[in-house]
Structure 1
Amino acid sequence: MNYEVVTLKEKIVVGTCARTGNDDPDCVKIIGGLWQKFMAEGIWESIENKANTYCIGLYSDYDETSYDVTVGCEVLENSNPKLTEKRISAGQYAVFHVKGDVVKAVSEAWGKIWDMPLDRSFSGDFEEYLSNDNGVAEINIYIALK
């Protein structure tokens, strides 16, 4: 799977958050539930000071068995006190461009990424959902590098 290395400035993300892990039998349900809540409860619409129109799925605060998942948006500044604020660290990221069915394409991409010998920092990885036209989504997956 091809990728490019990019350097990003720090980003502020606000949204709804939960803790899970890849070995958690409810992992898919937890992450899917966050996305459902984010869309169905109007959280996306309520976020002020959006930097763009993209949704972000952020994986951060890693430990040996779990991590935080935040579904939200990048903001210029946080004026959303009822939502969780997370920061995406400035630094180098491997970015994978993914296109296809939103669930299937992202799941398959992560399976391939986990098998790659990337020098990951685990400071925070994220999916940036760019568009979804007629069931064909465009997503960038950013993996933090050391």
Structure 2
Amino acid sequence: MTYELVELKDMMVAGLSARTNNYAPDMGNVIGGLWAQFMGAYSSVLYKANEKTLGIYTEYEGRETEDYSVLAACEVKKTEGQPDGITIKTIPAGTYAKFTAEGEGKEAVAKVWQNLWNMDLSRSFVCDFEEYEKTEEGRCRIHIYIGLKN
């Protein structure tokens, strides 16, 4: 599976968060429920930088097999004045491996992650994220950014 190395600057995000791990029996429900809740709250997030939505994985207790925080969010230009209950985070600057998938969001992302777990990437386990955008054809283009050790 191919990817490109990219250098990203800090990115401020606002959204909703939860805690889970990849082996929790309710992981799918936690993440799916978080997205459903976020889509209902999307219009209340202020100062959006663009129309993309982000799935962010951070605060890892170790590797991908341990607990982490997941956020359904969007990039914002400023964080002040966000409504109660909105989580504010910064995606840290650094080197990321950028993968691209197109198609039905959930299935396309699952396929990329399945392949990622079998790759020998020098992951930092600080922050990884998915960036969702609609294409002109009404499909979804997903960029998956995996934080790498420097």
Give the TM-score taking structure 2 as reference length: 0.92
Equivalent position of 2:17 in the other structure: 17
Does residue 100 (structure 1) correspond to residue 98 (structure 2)? The answer is no
Aligned with residue 49 of structure 1, among 31, 41, 47: 47
Q: CA deviation at 1:127?
A: 0.3
The runs of at least 4 aligned residues of structure 1 exceeding 6 Å deviation read none
Equivalent position of 1:138 in the other structure: 141
The more displaced of 67-76 and 128-137 is 128-137
Does residue 120 (structure 1) correspond to residue 93 (structure 2)? The answer is no
Aligned with residue 89 of structure 1, among 86, 92, 101: 92
Q: CA deviation at 1:135?
A: 6.0
- Segments of structure 1 that go 5 or more residues without pairing to the other structure are none
Q: Which amino acid aligns with 1:22?
A: N
Q: CA deviation at 1:70?
A: 0.5
SS of structure 1 residue aligned to 2:56:
strand
Equivalent position of 1:8 in the other structure: 8
- Segments of structure 2 that go 5 or more residues without pairing to the other structure are none
1:78-120 CA-partner distances (Å, limit 9, x unpaired): 0315200111110000000110111110001100011110000
For the 8 Å contact 1:100–1:135, the answer to whether it is kept is: no
Provide the rounded CA distance (Å) in 2 between the counterparts of 1:49 and 1:132. Answer: 23
Aligned with residue 59 of structure 1, among 54, 57, 72: 57
Q: Which amino acid aligns with 1:53?
A: E
The more displaced of 126-135 and 91-100 is 126-135
Give the TM-score taking structure 1 as reference length: 0.94
Q: Which amino acid aligns with 2:57?
A: Y
Equivalent position of 1:33 in the other structure: 33
For the 8 Å contact 1:101–1:135, the answer to whether it is kept is: no
Residues 132, 33 of structure 1: CA spacing in aligned structure 2 closer, same or farther, 3 A cutoff?
farther
For the 8 Å contact 2:44–2:83, the answer to whether it is kept is: no
* % same residue: 44
Q: CA deviation at 1:77?
A: 1.1
Aligned with residue 112 of structure 2, among 102, 106, 109: 109
Provide the rounded CA distance (Å) in 1 between the counterparts of 2:8 and 2:110. Answer: 24
